[in-house]
Protein backbone atom coordinates (compact mmCIF):
# COMPACT_ATOMS: atom_id res chain seq x y z
CA UNK A 1 0.00 0.00 0.00
CA UNK A 2 1.31 3.45 -0.91
CA UNK A 3 2.08 6.09 1.66
CA UNK A 4 -0.81 8.48 2.30
CA UNK A 5 0.80 11.46 0.52
CA UNK A 6 1.57 9.32 -2.56
CA UNK A 7 -2.02 8.24 -3.14
CA UNK A 8 -4.26 10.00 -5.66
CA UNK A 9 -6.67 12.51 -4.12
CA UNK A 10 -9.66 10.43 -5.21
CA UNK A 11 -8.37 7.36 -3.35
CA UNK A 12 -7.62 9.45 -0.25
CA UNK A 13 -11.15 10.83 -0.29
CA UNK A 14 -13.02 7.63 -1.13
CA UNK A 15 -11.12 5.27 1.16
CA UNK A 16 -10.33 7.56 4.05
CA UNK A 17 -9.47 5.29 7.02
CA UNK A 18 -11.64 7.35 9.37
CA UNK A 19 -14.70 6.99 7.15
CA UNK A 20 -14.09 3.31 6.39
CA UNK A 21 -13.51 2.77 10.11
CA UNK A 22 -16.85 4.40 10.92
CA UNK A 23 -18.59 2.09 8.44
CA UNK A 24 -16.95 -0.94 10.07
CA UNK A 25 -17.81 0.39 13.53
CA UNK A 26 -21.50 0.65 12.57
CA UNK A 27 -21.39 -2.96 11.36
CA UNK A 28 -19.86 -4.08 14.68
CA UNK A 29 -22.62 -2.27 16.57
CA UNK A 30 -25.32 -3.83 14.38
CA UNK A 31 -23.83 -7.26 14.92
CA UNK A 32 -23.76 -6.76 18.68
CA UNK A 33 -27.46 -5.85 18.70
CA UNK A 34 -28.09 -9.50 17.81
CA UNK A 35 -25.03 -11.25 19.28
CA UNK A 36 -23.17 -9.67 22.19
CA UNK A 37 -20.07 -11.79 21.59
CA UNK A 38 -18.95 -9.56 18.71
CA UNK A 39 -18.34 -9.92 14.97
CA UNK A 40 -15.91 -12.54 13.67
CA UNK A 41 -12.93 -10.99 11.92
CA UNK A 42 -13.65 -12.82 8.66
CA UNK A 43 -17.07 -11.16 8.36
CA UNK A 44 -15.60 -7.70 8.87
CA UNK A 45 -13.77 -8.16 5.57
CA UNK A 46 -17.10 -8.25 3.70
CA UNK A 47 -18.53 -4.97 5.02
CA UNK A 48 -16.70 -2.38 2.91
CA UNK A 49 -17.17 -4.16 -0.46
CA UNK A 50 -20.92 -4.33 0.18
CA UNK A 51 -21.37 -0.85 1.68
CA UNK A 52 -19.10 1.26 -0.50
CA UNK A 53 -20.27 -0.20 -3.83
CA UNK A 54 -23.12 2.07 -4.86
CA UNK A 55 -25.31 -0.53 -6.60
CA UNK A 56 -24.98 -2.97 -3.70
CA UNK A 57 -25.67 -0.25 -1.16
CA UNK A 58 -28.84 0.82 -2.97
CA UNK A 59 -30.11 -2.76 -3.15
CA UNK A 60 -29.57 -3.25 0.59
CA UNK A 61 -31.21 0.10 1.37
CA UNK A 62 -34.32 -1.05 -0.51
CA UNK A 63 -34.30 -4.44 1.22
CA UNK A 64 -33.63 -3.41 4.81
CA UNK A 65 -36.94 -4.92 5.83
CA UNK A 66 -35.90 -8.28 4.42
CA UNK A 67 -33.27 -10.86 5.31
CA UNK A 68 -29.72 -10.79 3.95
CA UNK A 69 -29.96 -14.21 2.31
CA UNK A 70 -33.26 -13.30 0.67
CA UNK A 71 -31.92 -9.98 -0.63
CA UNK A 72 -28.90 -11.71 -2.18
CA UNK A 73 -31.02 -14.46 -3.74
CA UNK A 74 -33.42 -11.87 -5.21
CA UNK A 75 -30.55 -9.74 -6.55
CA UNK A 76 -27.88 -11.96 -8.13
CA UNK A 77 -26.26 -8.82 -9.57
CA UNK A 78 -24.78 -8.30 -6.10
CA UNK A 79 -22.41 -11.18 -6.82
CA UNK A 80 -20.96 -9.74 -10.03
CA UNK A 81 -17.26 -9.08 -9.39
CA UNK A 82 -17.81 -9.28 -5.64
CA UNK A 83 -14.75 -11.46 -5.08
CA UNK A 84 -12.41 -9.05 -6.84
CA UNK A 85 -14.03 -6.07 -5.09
CA UNK A 86 -13.50 -7.73 -1.72
CA UNK A 87 -9.88 -8.51 -2.57
CA UNK A 88 -9.25 -4.97 -3.82
CA UNK A 89 -10.67 -3.45 -0.63
CA UNK A 90 -8.73 -5.67 1.79
CA UNK A 91 -5.88 -3.16 2.26
CA UNK A 92 -8.37 -0.39 3.03
CA UNK A 93 -10.25 -2.63 5.46
CA UNK A 94 -7.01 -3.46 7.27
CA UNK A 95 -6.06 0.22 7.34
CA UNK A 96 -9.47 1.17 8.77
CA UNK A 97 -9.24 -1.59 11.39
CA UNK A 98 -5.80 -0.30 12.36
CA UNK A 99 -7.17 3.22 12.65
CA UNK A 100 -10.06 2.06 14.84
CA UNK A 101 -7.70 0.01 17.00
CA UNK A 102 -5.41 2.99 17.45
CA UNK A 103 -8.40 5.07 18.60
CA UNK A 104 -9.55 2.33 20.96
CA UNK A 105 -12.91 2.09 19.17
CA UNK A 106 -13.02 -1.71 19.26
CA UNK A 107 -11.38 -4.60 21.00
CA UNK A 108 -10.52 -8.14 20.06
CA UNK A 109 -11.94 -10.48 22.68
CA UNK A 110 -10.30 -13.76 23.72
CA UNK A 111 -12.45 -15.76 21.28
CA UNK A 112 -11.28 -13.60 18.35
CA UNK A 113 -14.42 -11.54 17.77
CA UNK A 114 -14.35 -7.79 17.24
CA UNK A 115 -16.42 -5.76 19.72
CA UNK A 116 -17.21 -2.06 19.44
CA UNK A 117 -16.35 0.24 22.33
CA UNK A 118 -18.97 2.96 22.45
CA UNK A 119 -16.77 5.72 23.92
CA UNK A 120 -16.67 8.91 21.88
CA UNK A 121 -18.54 7.70 18.80
CA UNK A 122 -21.87 9.23 17.88
CA UNK A 123 -24.76 6.86 18.19
CA UNK A 124 -26.57 8.22 15.13
CA UNK A 125 -24.96 8.40 11.69
CA UNK A 126 -24.19 11.86 10.38
CA UNK A 127 -22.65 13.33 7.24
CA UNK A 128 -23.68 13.44 3.61
CA UNK A 129 -26.60 11.42 2.28
CA UNK A 130 -24.22 8.83 0.84
CA UNK A 131 -22.10 8.49 3.97
CA UNK A 132 -25.22 8.04 6.11
CA UNK A 133 -26.46 5.43 3.62
CA UNK A 134 -23.14 3.54 3.92
CA UNK A 135 -23.43 3.56 7.70
CA UNK A 136 -27.04 2.39 7.65
CA UNK A 137 -26.26 -0.48 5.29
CA UNK A 138 -23.30 -1.43 7.48
CA UNK A 139 -25.54 -1.63 10.55
CA UNK A 140 -28.08 -3.69 8.59
CA UNK A 141 -25.37 -6.07 7.37
CA UNK A 142 -23.97 -6.42 10.87
CA UNK A 143 -27.39 -7.39 12.23
CA UNK A 144 -28.06 -9.77 9.37
CA UNK A 145 -24.66 -11.45 9.63
CA UNK A 146 -25.39 -12.07 13.31
CA UNK A 147 -28.81 -13.52 12.48
CA UNK A 148 -27.33 -15.90 9.93
CA UNK A 149 -24.61 -16.73 12.48
CA UNK A 150 -22.67 -18.98 10.11
CA UNK A 151 -19.67 -17.54 8.32
CA UNK A 152 -19.59 -20.36 5.81
CA UNK A 153 -23.16 -19.67 4.73
CA UNK A 154 -22.49 -15.97 4.30
CA UNK A 155 -19.30 -16.53 2.29
CA UNK A 156 -20.96 -19.20 0.14
CA UNK A 157 -23.96 -16.97 -0.50
CA UNK A 158 -21.63 -14.24 -1.74
CA UNK A 159 -19.69 -16.71 -3.89
CA UNK A 160 -16.32 -16.33 -2.16
CA UNK A 161 -14.09 -18.51 -0.02
CA UNK A 162 -12.82 -17.32 3.38
Phi-psi region of 39 (alpha: psi -120 to 50; beta: other; left: phi over 0): beta
- The model's pTM is 0.92
Out of 6-15, 39-48, 153-162, least confident range: 6-15
Domain boundaries, the chain: 4-157
How confident is the model at residue 32, as a pLDDT?
96
Phi, psi torsion values for 65, nearest 5 degrees: -95, 5
Mean pLDDT confidence for 99-117: 93
The CA distance from 15 to 119, in Å, is 23
Pairwise CA distance, residues 97 & 113, whole Å = 13
**Mean pLDDT for the chain overall:** 91
User: In this structure, are residues 18 and 99 in contact, taking their beta carbons and an 8 Å threshold?
Assistant: yes
Q: How far apart are CA 107 and CA 16, in angstroms?
A: 21
Amino acid sequence: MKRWDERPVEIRNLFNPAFCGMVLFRAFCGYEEEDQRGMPFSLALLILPLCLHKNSREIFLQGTRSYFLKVVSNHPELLINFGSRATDLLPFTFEALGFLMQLGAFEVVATGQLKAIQNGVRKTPSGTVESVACQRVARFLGKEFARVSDRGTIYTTLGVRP
